Structures are given as structure tokens and as C-alpha cells.
Amino acid sequence: MKKVLILSGAGLSAESGISTFRDSDGLWENYDVMEVCSTQGWAKDRALVTEFYNARRKDIETKLPNEAHKLLARLQKRYPKQILNMTQNVDNLLEKAGCTEVTHLHGTLTDLRCESCGEVFNVGYMPQEVDDTCTFCSGAIRHNVVMFGEMAPKYENLEIAIEEATLFIAIGTSGQVIDISAIANRFEHAILVNPKQEKHGSSGYNIDEFFEYFIQEKASVAVDELETLIDDFLTQE
Ligand code: OAD
């Protein structure tokens, strides 16, 4: 059974009004990433980090999925078990669009987690108090987003998906955290969706050079072309 790995990033949700990280108006222009998204920042000022994620959680409450999220939900229904949906996004727009099986590689905004026992609590869009404690073990509670300086346990699922799939699709990611060029290199068939031609680190290559097919469009504009390519790939011998 053919499988398609779809790895999305902040660009997927950009047209829904959620800021990306590294674009000119992105989050890391307005916040110091090491202060709000690193283990050092967390150790230094838990109140500041908690406030940052409370604002992110509140921000997604009213946001709606766009045509690209809806395409991924439609494909998952059309090809059950053949679409491996992995996202770096911590929002819930894929779920709002109707996706049921999404691997959130960098965690989820709508959950909090106990630092001691690991219990996960769904809080929806409610703010966290910095001194909240776990109802099971009284441990300290934290946001459920992976920070720089800690392991991302779900990367194991990504590695398994890379082994299982024969078509790789990257949508709306700069490739600066997960090296999508290296992933594309492991596939015979790979499609990139990004309105911008991104550089591959300091290698001098453009990321799209590692892909068989580059749709240089915003995610919602790429929807029809992408759907046709995936349909063709999964239905042809
Ligand atoms: P980035 O902000 O690094 O990259 C967003 C990409 O989306 C850029 O390449 C844009 O050109 C592209 N883009 C912008 N608008 C788009 C649109 N309408 N359609 C398609 N693409 C568009 O975001 P990520 O690569 O997702 O980690 O960032 C990876 C990780 O870095 C995030 O998960 C986050 C951050 O630090 C954590 O918070 C743990």
C-alpha cells in the first residue's frame, strides 16, 4: 500500500491568520526565541514563558482552517491509512478541519503537561497560571510545546513515516528546524509547497533543488495542483 508523508509548518496556517516564526513579520521578529522557547529561558523566567504560550493559545481560539487544512482532511478521509500527517504546528487547525490522525512533532498549545509525572491535560484555550500544579502528583505544570534544548520525542514517528512512505510533501516550512532537504533526499518522489524559495542553511543550495516538484505558491493556492498530484500518485500503478 502506497503511503504519502505530509510534513507541514507554520506556512500552512499563515493564511488562517497565525503568524509564522521566521518570515519578516514572524513571531521571532517580536520575541527573543531563546527567552520564550528554550530550556534556558524557561529556567530563567517561567512567568514570561507561560504568558507567551497563554497568548498563543488565546490567539488560536478564533482561527479557522483554510483550504489547505481542508485538503489534508479530505485526503485523509479519501485514503485512510495512506496519508501520514505530521506537523510542526502547535495549533489545532488540522483537527478543526476534520483530520483525526495528526502527529504534532512540536507539541500542542491546547494541552498542558505535568513536569513530574508527564500527565497531559487538555485545557482548550484557557490560560495557565504559573504556579498551577498537577491534580495527580502535585508536580509543576508547564506548556506542552517542545523547547530548544530538549528532545522532541515524536521525531521517532517521523523517522518511521519516512521509512514507510514513498512520496514526501513539505508544506509551508523554512526547513530550519527539521531539515526537509535531507528528508527529500531519501525519497524518489518529493513535492515542496512554499511561496518563497528558501536557502538550505549555508550550503549555497536552494531547498527546492532537493525536491522533484516545487509548487511556488501559498498553500491555499497550491491546493488543486497538490490534490491532483497526490490522487495520481496513489491511484496509478
Ligand atoms: P518558519 O516560520 O520557519 O517558516 C515558515 C515557512 O512558511 C517559510 O518558509 C515561508 O516562506 C512559508 N510560508 C509563508 N506563508 C505561506 C503560505 N501562505 N503558504 C505556504 N507557505 C508559506 O516555520 P516552521 O518551518 O514551521 O518550533 O518553523 C519550524 C519550527 O520553528 C516551529 O515548529 C517552531 C519554530 O521555532 C517550536 O515552537 C518548537
**pLDDT (tens digit per residue) in 125-144:** 999 999 999 999 999 999 99
C-alpha cell at 22: 521566521
Least confident of 14-23, 24-33, 74-83: 24-33
Q: In terms of Cα–Cα distance, which of 237, 83, 84, 223 is closest to 161?
A: 84
Q: Which of 69, 104, 106, 143 is catalytic?
A: 106
List the domains of the chain with CATH numbers. Answer: 4-18+64-106+151-235 (3.40.50.1220), 27-61+111-145 (3.30.1600.10)
What is the Å distance from ligand 1's center to 58 Cα?
20
**pLDDT (tens digit per residue) in 157-181:** 999 999 999 999 999 999 999 999 9
200 is catalytic: no
What is the Å distance from ligand 1's center to 128 Cα?
25
